[in-house]
Amino acid sequence: MDFKFNKDYFSVKDKVVIITGANMGLGLAYAKALSNCGAKLVISHFDTNTKEIENFCAKNKTELLLVQGDLTKEADRNKLIEEAIKKFKHIDALVNNAGTIIREPILEFSEKSWNKVIDINMNAVWFLSQKVAQIMKKQGYGKIINIASMLSYQGGILVPAYTASKHAVAGLTKAFTTELAKYNIQVNAIAPGYVETANTQAIRDDAKRNQSILERIPAGHWAKPEEIAGAVVFLCSKASDYISGAIIPVDGGFLCR
């Protein structure tokens, strides 16, 4: 029996990858990593701040399609998919990165805040994945990578809607897998640990909280965004074809301590 595995299985060269919310934060890191590895990118963004990823992709000569929209709206989700197919004819992978977080005490957390977080972190992931999976079924292949969290495992502090949404992302990853794996569609999630981003600046500025977190990370430091991106690139590649339904912690060992 021939053993077929080779280094090309790790390649994402010329793969068409949709990344939501990839003009800033961790999404920007995922986009840069995929660009460096030769992928073609479709980036969904809510605001107009896209210069950094545009310049990065231009320097790399990466084929890039930018689609502005609100992923909580069906029309904008449909526009994203339609424009991706129009330009590239197919979709190899979807990275559901877009998300938001609101910090309020649980006894004061408003319905408005709850709905805002759930709409983008859970509902948009569900509806966009469903639409893209329909295309992937027709193609006969595809990969969906969700972004879970350490709060897919824990309760968190002052972030009840975010915690609920990230538990939901983990559950949806498994639910999609049970029905889509037979169509050669792999659905997985990564759970980033504590990463140096704008969203975590307030925590890092709190000396006591920062120290308590560092004491729980065996690696001894907060992650740089690029230290998280490798898992996304891997899950977009053929090397991950028999991985499905996994929630992979990328956390410097945080969950082990």
C-alpha to C-alpha distance for 72 and 22, rounded to whole angstroms: 16
Question: Which segments within 46-163 are labelled E, that is strand?
Answer: 64-68, 93-96, 142-147
DSSP letters, 179-240, are HHGGGTEEEEEEEE-SB-SGGGHHHHHSHHHHHHHHTT-TT-SPBPHHHHHHHHHHHHSGGG
- In degrees and rounded to multiples of 5, residue 2 shows phi and psi of -70, 140
Q: Measured between alpha carbons, how far is residue 59 from residues 37, 38, 53, 54 in Å?
A: 13, 12, 10, 9
Active-site entry in 9, 30, 141, 162: 162
Phi-psi region of 158 (alpha: psi -120 to 50; beta: other; left: phi over 0): left
- In degrees and rounded to multiples of 5, residue 101 shows phi and psi of -145, 140
CB within 8 Å of 155: residues ≥ 6 apart:
163
CB within 8 Å of 78: residues ≥ 6 apart:
131
Residue pair 14/62 in contact by the 8 Å Cβ criterion:
no
* 162 catalytic residue (yes or no): yes
N-term to C-term CA, the chain: 42
List residues with catalytic annotation: 162
